[in-house]
Structure 1
Amino acid sequence: MEKSPDERPSRPLNEQRRTFYDENGTRHEPRRDRDRPEAARSGNSGSKPDYKPRYPHRPAADRSIDMLFGLRPIQEALSAGRTLEKIYLLRGTKNSITQEITELAKAATIPVSLVPLEKLNDLTRKNHQGAVAFVSPIDYAPLDSILAGLFEAGKTPLLLLLDRVTDVRNFGAIARNAECLGVHAIVVPSRGAAQINGDALKTSAGALNLIPVCREPNLKETISFLQHSGVQVVACTEKADTSLETASVDFTGPVAVLMGSEEDGISPEYLRLADYKVRIPMAGQIGSLNVSVASGIMLFEVLRQRLMSVDK
């Protein structure tokens, strides 16, 4: 039978309070109402309380450092050739400025999304005028120039193609793998790719400042371009019959490794275009790996074969 409140043992008030410690290990008693300034306890709006906020580590709701808002600033940024990650425009807005923004963004392969007002209000509290854009912390590189430069320098191209890898931290980890294992460039689609922001840069451990990233409007055309340029495309998929450990695929020549999203894998149309399809051997009960881990295994096999071919 449950005890009534009167029957429950009572403890002194000071034993019921928690003891807190700061980052230096100094013990502090919990803040009591009587420790606060009188204006703060009484709700007097005439003077500001002099105590610190309870959660000073929380970020501001407005991330304006990483974004532009307003039609004219975005238009000017595009005209100046500034690299933008993505542009959001208010759905149903049609005028000369929005038309120019759309045309400039298309020419620069910057994705534009037409969204409702609620989406824009979630992105910023500022007066956005129906337009918000995220600024990219990196400059995208043209794939054709990179490929031509590699061949001219006598290097064997190693590229990494990512199909719909949208998780920011996964992308950062993949970039770190790619830089460590000798990838010359990462290729992503202009739509359906992870946003390159501060989290991606941090997860990459700075690799995104070292390895070029190419943003292509159409991966199908990109695969065809690479194949016509003498680069074989190898898709990593658990549906393949060929297993990676057999070393039946030669990675010592120009190659582009194609990785897909964790949810759907590689798009069927891209799989059909690939020169080879290989799977990573598995010994456990789970049938797939995280895409960042899988990319590391694939790229290690490329590096292993290339190092062995040099030693021969």
Structure 2
Amino acid sequence: MAANNRRMSGKKGAQIGSGGKRRRGLEGKGPTPPAEMRKGHVKNRVANAKARQTARRPVKGRGGRSTSELVVGRNPVYEALRDGVPASTLYVQQFIDNDERVRDALALAAERGGIHLMEAPRPELDRMTNGLNHQGLVLQVPPYEYAHAEDLTAAAYDAGQDPLVVVLDGVTDPRNLGAVVRSVSAFGGHGVVVPERRAAGMTAGAWKSSAGAAARTPVARATNLTRTLEAYKKEGVIVVGLAADGEADVTDLPALDGPVAIVVGSEGKGLSRLVGETCDIRVRIPMPGGAESLNAGVAAGIVLYEAARRRA
């Protein structure tokens, strides 16, 4: 009978513990995600459909626009959003581990506004990024709208000022381009000109290096740099090339007082032959320390400071 009583009893024996399940069940799960991120919501289904369309139909640049760019990986995406890099869409992998970087990236995208949040399955993100290690986060940077080279001098003349433009010849590092844009903005320049081919463009890296200056300083793209410089000369702009074997020091250059285009070559090769021959004058930066060369960002900053000092 005792055995039967035990079988019919509804009481359970003593339990050692819950293994922390109750405590974990009480922990918060963070803010409610937006509708686009909630599985089953109508906006989530629409976002997924758009993500699949975008993945199959990449944006192509035309005319004065670059191609759209993808920033991939949790840290790069977070840093791009934090540093104000323009963005159109943030793709988030379905069922992603919601760690601190993911939460911070979503929060920054929501704060900035105008950035679409789209959830996409991992295979779609793998296809979009050509198999890169995206870690479940992909940020789409919209095409950059390049100015025309003549717009830079026209805007200066319209403002009653002498043009101060920097032209980059063969600079391929986007960080150098961003640093030049930042210096042009700091010293009152009117823009930067880059070649259309074999040169750095306004990528996410250039935007970050400019520290926000790219939003207020135009960058123009020239199909033929020599023809662009010849057109500037016809407008009365003095074309000054920086070269280690220049015939004068930059500190002894009265031309910086007036309309001027400063041409900076690559750190390794300097000015190309045709561009160097097109310059009205080639100048050097005195370097008593004996360094052979400076990178484009530093060299442009020195000459821009000298120009700003003379104009002041």
Q: Tell me whether the two structures share a fold, i.e. TM-score over 0.5.
A: yes
Does the CA contact (< 8 Å) of 1:233 and 1:275 recur in 2? yes
Which 4+ stretches in 1 moved above 6 angstroms?
A: none
Does the CA contact (< 8 Å) of 2:237 and 2:261 recur in 1? yes
Task: Tell me the amino acid that sits aligned with residue 181 of structure 1.
Answer: F
Q: Pick one of 273, 279, 298 that aligns with 2:278.
A: 273
Q: Pick one of 290, 303, 311 that aligns with 1:306.
A: 311
Does the CA contact (< 8 Å) of 1:242 and 1:278 recur in 2? yes
The equivalent of 2:215 in structure 1 is: 209
Deviations 1:19-54 (A, max 9, x none): xxxxxxxxxxxxxxxxxxxxxxxxxxxxxxxxxxxx
The equivalent of 2:246 in structure 1 is: 240
Query: Quick one: distance in 1 between partners of 2:224 and 2:308?
Result: 28
Does the CA contact (< 8 Å) of 2:265 and 2:271 recur in 1? yes
User: Normalization by structure 2: what TM-score?
Assistant: 0.57
Does the CA contact (< 8 Å) of 1:190 and 1:216 recur in 2? yes
Query: Quick one: distance in 2 between partners of 1:162 and 1:85?
Result: 20
Q: How many pairs align?
A: 197
Aligned-pair CA distance for 1:143: 2.1
Task: Tell me the amino acid that sits aligned with residue 165 of structure 1.
Answer: V
* Aligned 1:89-238 pairs, distance under 5 A: 124-125=130-131, 137-238=143-244
The structure carrying a bigger helix percent of its residues is 2
Query: Quick one: distance in 1 between partners of 2:168 and 2:234?
Result: 19
The equivalent of 2:301 in structure 1 is: 296
Query: Quick one: distance in 2 between partners of 1:190 and 1:156?
Result: 25
- Give the SS at the match of 1:186: strand
Percent identity for Structure 1 against Structure 2: 37
Aligned-pair CA distance for 1:183: 1.0
User: Normalization by structure 1: what TM-score?
Assistant: 0.57
Query: Quick one: distance in 2 between partners of 1:278 and 1:86?
Result: 38
Unaligned runs of 5+ in 2: 1-50, 70-126, 133-139
Query: Quick one: distance in 2 between partners of 1:234 and 1:207?
Result: 24
Query: Quick one: distance in 2 between partners of 1:208 and 1:280?
Result: 26
Query: Quick one: distance in 2 between partners of 1:171 and 1:288?
Result: 17
- Give the SS at the match of 2:151: helix
- Give the SS at the match of 2:201: coil
Unaligned runs of 5+ in 1: 1-64, 88-120, 127-133, 308-312
Query: Quick one: distance in 1 between partners of 2:194 and 2:201?
Result: 11
Query: Quick one: distance in 1 between partners of 2:182 and 2:159?
Result: 24
- Alpha-carbon RMSD across the aligned residues, in angstroms, is 2.8
Aligned-pair CA distance for 1:151: 1.7
Task: Tell me the amino acid that sits aligned with residue 146 of structure 2.
Answer: Y
- Give the SS at the match of 1:165: coil
